Amino acid sequence: MPARKTHPRTVTGIDKIIGNRLRQRRLELHISQSELADKLGVSFQQVQKYEKGVNRVSTGRLQQIATVLESDVSFFMGDLVGSKKPPTVTKLAGFLATKDGVEINEAMLRLDQAHRRAVIALARTLGTAYGVEA
């Protein structure tokens, strides 16, 4: 069976990664989807679709998003350009793009190194106790 040709506008792994990074940055700045949508002149549903990687983000829109999110386009796709491997969203990147991921990181930044290590040890112990593996 011959390889199936994809339409040039088909959503790819890169679109999902860009969406994941968009969500991560938006959450870091504590901006809601509705607030971002208002600043971009689109619906919050469109922002949801960008973040989930369901809809592609055009170059012009990506520049607009970067400006609104006080970032640079390279944050969203800098390391994706010229990559030989198919891009995927890692477990860590997926977690960092959640409210819990942002909150835990912000909380950890307020701790000194000794307390950070204690929190990490606690999290590892809880993960082991409940059979959760990374």
Looking at the structure, tell me whether residues 18 and 83 fall in a common domain.
yes
Mean pLDDT over 62-90 rounds to: 83
Instruction: Indicate if the pLDDT at residue 44 is higher than 70.
Output: yes
pLDDT of res. 125: 92
Q: Is 42 exposed, middle or buried (0-12, 13-18, 19+ CB in 10 A)?
A: middle
Say whether both 36 and 19 belong to one domain.
Answer: yes
Q: Kindly state whether residues 83 and 19 are assigned to the same domain.
A: yes
Domain containing residue 22: CATH number = 1.10.260.40
This prediction's pTM: 0.72
CA distance 107 to 48: 26
The more confidently predicted of residues 45 and 85 is 45
The residue segments making up the domain with residue 108 are 98-134
Which one has a higher pLDDT value, 124 or 11?
A: 124
Q: What is the pLDDT of residue 52?
A: 92
Residue 77 and residue 126 in one domain: no
| Residue 4 maps to a domain | no
Domain-embedded: residue 8: no
87 and 17 in contact (C-beta within 8 Å)?
Answer: yes
- Residue 94: the pLDDT is 85
Domain count along the chain = 2
